[in-house]
Amino acid sequence: MNDVAGTVEHDEVDMFTMVVLRRRIEAVIRNMINTLFRTGRSGVLNTAMDFSCSVTDSEFRTVSTALGLPVHVGAIDLIPKAIAKKFGDDQHPGDCFANNSAYHGNTHCGDFTLCAPVFLDGEVIFYAIARAHLGDIGFPTPTTYGPLSRDIYEEGLKLPCVRIQRNYVDVQEVIDICQANIRAPNQFYGDYLATLAAVRTGEIGMQQICRQYGVARVRKFLAQFQEYAKTMAIAAIRKLPAGRVTREARYDSETDLYPEGIPIRVTIDVDPEEGMITVDLMNNVDNLPLGINLSEATMRATCYTAVLTVLGPDVPRSTGAYNRIRILSREGAAIGRPKFPAATSCATTNLTQLLGPMVRSAFADLRKGLGSACGTLGMPASCAVVSGQDDRRNGERFINQIIMGFWGGPGLQGHDGWFTHGGSGSMGALWQSSIEIVEQQQPVLVEALEIIEDSGGAGEWCGAPGAYCIFRSRTDGIRYTGNAAGHDFPPFGVAGGLDGSQNDVLWEGRDGARHTLANSFDIILNKDEKLVSKGSGGGGYGNPLDRNPDLVARDVQEGWVSPARARQTFGVVLQCDGFKYHADHAATGRLRADISARVPVPLKAYV
């Protein structure tokens, strides 16, 4: 039955219609994603898919955040909330608002976010949102990451929730300001149009659903669905043991304030009876004079995502479930809510990629079998922002972030680390760029992209390996900037698992000599000079001596683990028939018993 929008009251929405409406809304979001992917101008959008799309209702509730990057969509409701707070009733059909301000609900300045109120019969019923990571937003250096930025004024152009379209027509002054501050203005405008197209696709799709089913029925569905998500979350929490766990880890420091590493502290409190999980971040250090402070959006999204991975795949990634996670944070904390004018340009990567594993690993302390180890930290040099002039295209200026070799997933109970997991902000959702496309998009040759042997953290379930990658400049003046991490404090293992390998960044001159670079690097390389990346492996989960010997033999066969490490760390005796490795189970049992007698706790060093 098709109702006239908003005129018919409904009782409970039946289960069949609930499923249909949920999938219809997810289909709208997929259409938004496909639109942006097919029309994005930058390689980081049309190759790596570093963007996300979503919708919320007029009460800022999400139905599904499972289709985008976790750090992008977990707290995407803050975007329409910022519009409502700033503009109130001054929202009209055909409006679209731009936002890249961490102080107005955005993730970080590099995520260019568009949001359009969706009207039907003169009333806002939904908001359509598209968030696209750009390679340049007007920084002093060509990047959208400023790990060494001392405050917000060193982080380029800010769009603090401004109207960029009125009545479906661009507000040209805003477009002009953007193009005047961005190094590749035509590339930016192409990406803007792609992001806008995604938003308008979402607008049309949600209007069609409301016209077909009626606004009243859709609103009833939304209320029921949030209650369903809440019920599912409570049921999952009640399966967990009650308890309180505190964890502390260190993050590579680039400030004299913390020469021994930046401390990160997390406490989780599981209350099955109440059906509530509390994540307490109050005991963290103040905002740092660096660009790695978290924004409220990335802090909340990271906590929600980390807890939901423990609650399982059946719990909907929506507002109803998120409301069963209580986050305690304070303004002015590096792991919390930033106090103006703290810099946040790396809020989607560096500390975010440690906070997520910290929350998940706390559950492993609560009960073995829960949570996970730590995955890649920071962005390896193989994910550098590359810029310059392309001699193949008459000196045309270019800027793009490459996403390649972003590996090193964490081990977890029952599973080795996901190979292309990357950091906890993306959790495998980013596409990895192909060598051929990278070489087409910028004057760079990819000389190597290989697995680093023995780089994954050993465990009953191993961390995924890191990547060895070499970029060679094909012309002079190619600039590489990056924000790596995990050199001093590599991804940690849990439940007896070992740490992954450290991250290293180097540059190689024409003479073949290699020189170590800092985590936060900004270097210009001329023709035939090279950027060398050695990415971290993920941490392991569980005692390596408990790993299935046949899996160790497979890893050696694949070149992920060396025969020496198989014996020394995993206690596995191998036989090789000349073509294939096999585990000698009887000899392995004797060796493991001997190792356990001599070393009751697994070695904590990277072998």
Asked whether residue 216 falls in the same domain as residue 142, the answer is yes
What sign for the dihedral angle of Cα 542, 465, 133, 181? Answer: positive
Is the pLDDT assigned to residue 202 strictly greater than 60? yes
State the pTM of this model.
0.94
The pLDDT tens digits for 333-377 are 999 999 999 999 999 999 999 999 999 999 999 998 999 999 999
Asked whether residue 491 falls in the same domain as residue 505, the answer is yes
d(CA 320, CA 299) in angstroms, rounded, equals 18
Both tokens of residue 287?
A: 């905002």
Q: What is the mean pLDDT of the chain?
A: 94
- Domain encompassing residue 593: 545-598
Asked whether residue 538 falls in the same domain as residue 568, the answer is no
Q: How many CB atoms lie within 10 A of CB 15?
A: 10
**Which residues lie closer than 8 Å to 132 by C-beta, 6 or more apart?**
36, 40, 45, 50, 51, 111, 112, 113, 191, 194, 195
Tracing tokens 């944070």 back to the chain, one arrives at: 329
**C-beta of residue 469 within 8 angstroms of C-beta of residue 382:** yes
| Residue 230 located in a structural domain | no
The pLDDT tens digits for 163-177 are 999 999 999 999 999
Asked whether residue 427 falls in the same domain as residue 536, the answer is yes
Asked whether residue 500 falls in the same domain as residue 550, the answer is no
Element (H, E) at 594: helix 585-598
The pLDDT tens digits for 424-454 are 999 999 999 889 999 999 999 999 999 999 9
Q: How many CB atoms lie within 10 A of CB 103?
A: 19
φ/ψ region of 407 (left if φ > 0, alpha if ψ in -120 to 50, else beta) reads beta
Tracing tokens 């009626």 back to the chain, one arrives at: 214
Peptide bond connecting 341 to the previous residue in cis, omega within 30 degrees of 0: yes
Asked whether residue 587 falls in the same domain as residue 487, the answer is no
d(CA 314, CA 467) in angstroms, rounded, equals 33
| Residue 10 located in a structural domain | no
Asked whether residue 402 falls in the same domain as residue 537, the answer is yes
Asked whether residue 80 falls in the same domain as residue 206, the answer is yes
Asked whether residue 211 falls in the same domain as residue 65, the answer is yes
| Residue 301 located in a structural domain | no
Q: Please count the structural domains in the chain.
A: 3
The pLDDT tens digits for 217-257 are 999 999 999 999 999 999 999 999 999 999 999 999 999 99
Q: What percent of the chain has pLDDT over 70?
A: 97
The pLDDT of residue 2 is 43
Domain end marker among 511, 542, 573: 542
Is the pLDDT assigned to residue 5 strictly greater than 50? no
**C-beta of residue 464 within 8 angstroms of C-beta of residue 537:** yes
Secondary structure of 208-254 in HEC code, one letter for each residue: HHHHHHCHHHHHHHHHHHHHHHHHHHHHHHCCCCCEEEEEEEEECCC
Is the pLDDT assigned to residue 6 strictly greater than 80? no
Interior/surface letters 538-556, b for 16+ CB within 10 angstroms, e for the rest: bbbbbbbbebebebbbebb
d(CA 301, CA 403) in angstroms, rounded, equals 22
| Residue 43 located in a structural domain | yes
Asked whether residue 133 falls in the same domain as residue 47, the answer is yes
Asked whether residue 418 falls in the same domain as residue 522, the answer is yes
d(CA 410, CA 538) in angstroms, rounded, equals 5
Report which of 212, 260, 169, 205 is spatially closest to residue 5, judged by C-alpha positions: 212
Asked whether residue 109 falls in the same domain as residue 22, the answer is yes
